[in-house]
Amino acid sequence: MLNEVAAASEAGLRALGFRIGERVGDSWALILPNARPARRTLRGDRGRITLSEARKRGDVGGAERVLLVAPSASPGVLDAARLGRWDLLLWEAPLALINGVAYEAIGTGVPSDAPRRRDRLGQPAPLTQPAPLPAGLLERLPAAEALPSHTGGRPAWTRWAVARLLLLRGGAPVGHLSDVLGVSRQAVSRALTQWGALVRRDGSGVWTAHDDAALLGAWLAAYPGPGGRSEGWWHPLPPLGQARAAALLAQRAGASALLSGSVARQVHTPGLEAGRVEVLLRTPVDLRAAGFEAVPVERASLLTRVPRDPTVWATAVPASVAGQPVVVADRLLADGNFS
């Protein structure tokens, strides 16, 4: 692989919130934005990748799955990647498709060192926000809908995450949901069964919400929040600056920072007023090294939390905050008012 292609691929991956570990030739160790590890063999060139080229490079045997890298791709290549046939990284308008799961940058530009496309296809397509929920969905919840029972004991994190994925990303087969959440297919099938008539399966094996508003209402009524104890911090910086400082420190500590609270809501709905920041972490991080002061929660300008819910990273979204690539909570978690 050419050095400039490798450099552009690295810039694109970092813009999408991936972390890059050991490299052995074209074999790269990656940490996905949802904190799951992966290793891929990169194959690509400086030009737009076509379906015939993708078949030659992607449909090969070997111990590692291939990650096709290019500035852009034909519609056929994109369709196949969305179905999980191969993994794909495009760096002009950064987009990665890993096992059919899309990772898109929000508010970031084209990496400055990326080789530019030299054909007649025009300028790179503009970046988009995450797909919005159906209009008015949060306002038209059903008043009476039977909810799957949860009788205490171990929280039903997988069940709640399956519903969240169907609401956020639309229909998917069991295998795709299993890959995204990092749980067994049996666990996903059990979760879908527990949602009863609120979900349905079509003839091709794709599961969807029977009615988005009904499933959302059931999820809101059942989901207790990510759990975990909050710690309070204060810093004189504006909220976005605090989020960036905390995320940088957590990244260095390997704590996989996931921004929630007002910053995540601003990413999903630009124009909202800034408020208190919340940062979800894999492990506790002492923010005093970034100039924060530990304070009671009620006085805090920023909260950190190590959540009990392990699925919050699975539905996270890559974004850019104050020029720093970060990962933010999905729209439903960001909009929720969980204690």
Q: What is the 3-state secondary structure (H, E, C) of 170-238?
A: CCEEHHHHHHHHCCCHHHHHHHHHHCHHHEEECCCCEEEECCHHHHHHHHHHHCCCCCCCEEEEECCCC
Tens digit of pLDDT for each residue in 160-197? 999 999 999 899 999 889 888 888 889 999 999 999 99
Backbone angles phi, psi at 180, to 5 degrees: -65, -45
pLDDT at 139 over 50: no
Instruction: Indicate whether 209 and 235 sit together in one domain.
Output: no
Residue 122 lies in a domain: no
pLDDT score of 63: 65
The per-residue pLDDT for 106 is 46
User: How many whole angstroms separate alpha carbon 328 and alpha carbon 260?
Assistant: 6
Predicted pLDDT of residue 213:
93
Q: What is the pLDDT of residue 134?
A: 46
Token pair for 331: 């729209």
Pair 203, 241 in one domain: no
pLDDT over threshold 60, residue 43: yes
pLDDT band at 199 (very low <50, low <70, confident <90, very high): very high
- pLDDT surpassing 70 at residue 273: yes
Residue 144 confidence (pLDDT): 33
Give the model's pLDDT for residue 128. 34
Looking from the CA of 284 toward its CB, the CA atoms found within 13 Å total: 8
pLDDT of residue 303: 95
DSSP 297: G
Are residues 97 and 19 part of one domain?
Answer: yes
Q: Verify that 50 and 92 share a domain, yes or no.
A: yes
Rg (CA), the chain: 20
Alpha helices in the chain (DSSP H): 3-15, 51-58, 75-82, 157-169, 174-181, 185-194, 212-222, 239-252, 261-268, 331-335
124 within domain boundaries: no
**What pLDDT is recorded for position 323?**
66
Tell me, yes or no, whether 258 and 214 share the same domain. Answer: no
User: Considering the domain boundaries, does residue 113 fall inside one?
Assistant: no
pLDDT at 275: 82
Average pLDDT, rounded, for the chain: 80
Quote the number of domains for the chain.
3
Residue 120, in any domain of the structure: no
pLDDT tens for residues 47-97? Answer: 888 888 888 887 666 667 889 999 999 888 887 787 677 889 998 878 898
Shared domain check, 252 and 215 = no
Please say which residue of 193, 222, 251 terminates a domain. Answer: 222
Q: Both 217 and 243 in a single domain?
A: no
Closest CA to 233 of 214, 223, 247: 247
Query: Residue 267: what pLDDT?
Result: 83
Phi-psi map region of 193: left, alpha, beta (phi>0 left; psi -120 to 50 alpha): alpha
Instruction: Convert the pLDDT of each residue in 210-236 to its tens digit.
Output: 999 999 999 998 999 999 989 999 999
Q: At 183, which CATH number?
A: 1.10.10.10
Q: Which of 111-125, 128-142, 176-190 has the lowest mean pLDDT?
A: 111-125
Q: What is the DSSP letter of 274?
A: P
Per DSSP, what are the bridge partners of residue 326? 319
Instruction: Report pLDDT for 1.
Output: 63
Amino acid at 246: A
Choosing from 222, 239, 266, the residue where a domain stops is 222
Q: How many CB atoms lie within 10 A of CB 196?
A: 12
- 258 and 207 in a common domain: no
Q: With b meaning 16 or more CB within 10 Å and e meaning fewer, what string describes 150-170?
A: eeeeebbbbbbbbbbbbbbbe
Q: Of 129-138, 161-170, 209-218, 324-333, where does mean pLDDT reach its minimum? A: 129-138
Answer yes or no: is 116 within a domain: no
Per the domain annotation, does 195 fall within a domain? yes
Residue 25 near residue 6 (C-beta atoms within 8 A)? no
Show the CA angle centred on residue 23, arms to residues 19 and 29, nearest 5°: 45
Domain boundary residue, one of 104, 123, 152: 104
- Does residue 53 form part of some domain? yes
22, 105 Cβ separation under 8 angstroms: no
Of 146 and 43, the one with more pLDDT: 43
Q: Find out whether 47 and 114 touch, Cβ atoms under 8 Å.
A: no
Together in a domain, 48 and 25: yes
- Residue 8 structural domain: 3-104
In a domain? residue 89: yes
pLDDT class of 151 with cuts at 50, 70, 90: very low
Query: What pLDDT sits at residue 262?
Result: 87
- One domain for residues 38 and 95: yes
Query: Stretch 249-262: mean pLDDT, rounded?
Result: 86
Residues 242 and 322 in one domain: yes
| Claim to verify: residue 305 and residue 257 sit in the same structural domain | yes
